[in-house]
Amino acid sequence: MGNEAKLEFDQICENYINALYQGTTGFISYKAGEKEANAKNNIYLTYGEILYPSVNTLIEHLEINNQDIFYDLGSGIGKVALQFLLKTPVKKAYGIEASDGRHQQAEKVYRTVRQEFPELFSGDRELKSSRGNFLEMDISDATIVYTCSTCFSDELLNSLSQVFDRCPNLKYILSMKELSSKIPLDRIIEVDCTWDKSKCHIYSRPVQV
Ligand SMILES: C[S@@+](CC[C@H](N)C(=O)[O-])C[C@H]1O[C@@H](n2cnc3c(N)ncnc32)[C@H](O)[C@@H]1O
């Protein structure tokens, strides 16, 4: 694809995501004590989003092929996994989200995408949101993981690092907060989020041959 065509396609993707999510928000109100009760189970409900151009910046730093399996851990209303499906050749784009309301909104949008563009799913490609605590889900098939970990505790970051170290095919971890994973830190880049600029740590494991 030439540069102009790439820019045009990118604009189409951004407009499509904006249209799909019009009138939808992950910023929900909480019941009294809900956040504190969830934090005891390593679930940090505080919301915010990475912005579309910054997801593109992350994508540009990765080598992605049609066997890759992407997870967004704490996926909110599902924009990042959708952008990976639209903008990269990944085979699977999965989100895992603890908040049922956010997960339901993601799945509603994903159903629309499946209906409107079935060709995006040829070759067994998948786009899915699952509700639950990502620490309790099997992500052992992951090759790329992103987590907007800004509000996570040190305990959760350590547990996540251990989960990542048990994923045999993991090539990249993208995390706002620093991790203690054995996968080497490649670089730290600045990204734009709904609340401010943030650092994103990119961990990268050389591909085994
Ligand atoms: C800051 S938002 C990020 C949304 C989206 N991934 C993005 O980057 O634009 C973090 C999300 O993680 C979810 N979350 C936090 N802890 C979680 C856990 N242990 N399991 C699943 N989801 C979790 C929160 O409910 C929230 O929706």
**pLDDT category of residue 209 using cuts at 50, 70 and 90:** low
Number of domains in the chain: 1
> Residue 113 falls within a domain, yes or no?
yes
Q: Give kind and range of the element (H or E) at residue 97.
A: strand 92-97
CATH number, domain of 151, equals 3.40.50.150
Q: Would you state the pLDDT for residue 208?
A: 62
> Residue 117 falls within a domain, yes or no?
yes
Mean pLDDT of the chain: 96
For the stretch 10-25, pLDDT in tens is: 999 999 999 999 999 9
- Write out the two tokens for 76: 């909110």
- Rounded to the nearest angstrom, the distance between the alpha carbon of 74 and the centre of ligand 1 is 3
Instruction: Name the residue with the closest Cα to ligand 1, atom 27.
Output: 76
Going by DSSP bridges, is the β-strand pair 197-204/92-97 parallel, antiparallel, or unpaired? unpaired
Q: Which structural domain range is residue 182 located in?
A: 3-204
> Residue 151 falls within a domain, yes or no?
yes
For the stretch 128-179, pLDDT in tens is: 999 999 999 999 999 999 999 999 999 999 999 999 999 999 999 999 999 9
Atom of ligand 1 nearest to the CA of 75: 6
Pocket of ligand 1 (CB under 6 A): 26, 42-45, 47-50, 72, 74-76, 79-80, 96-99, 102, 133-135, 148
Atom of ligand 1 nearest to the CA of 135: 19
Instruction: Name the residue with the closest Cα to ligand 1, atom 11.
Output: 74
What angle do helix axes 3-20 and 100-116 make, rounded to 10 degrees? 130
**What are 157's strand-pairing partners?**
none
Which residue type, as a one-letter code, is found at position 145? V
Instruction: Name the residue with the closest Cα to ligand 1, atom 6.
Output: 75
Contacts of 72 (CB under 8 A, 6+ apart): 78, 80, 81, 84, 93, 94, 95, 96, 145, 146, 147, 148
Name the phi and psi angles at 85, rounded to 5. Answer: -65, -40
Instruction: Name the residue with the closest Cα to ligand 1, atom 5.
Output: 75
> Residue 150 falls within a domain, yes or no?
yes
How much is the pTM? 0.97
**pLDDT category of residue 39 using cuts at 50, 70 and 90:** very high
> Residue 93 falls within a domain, yes or no?
yes
- Rounded to the nearest angstrom, the distance between the alpha carbon of 148 and the centre of ligand 1 is 7
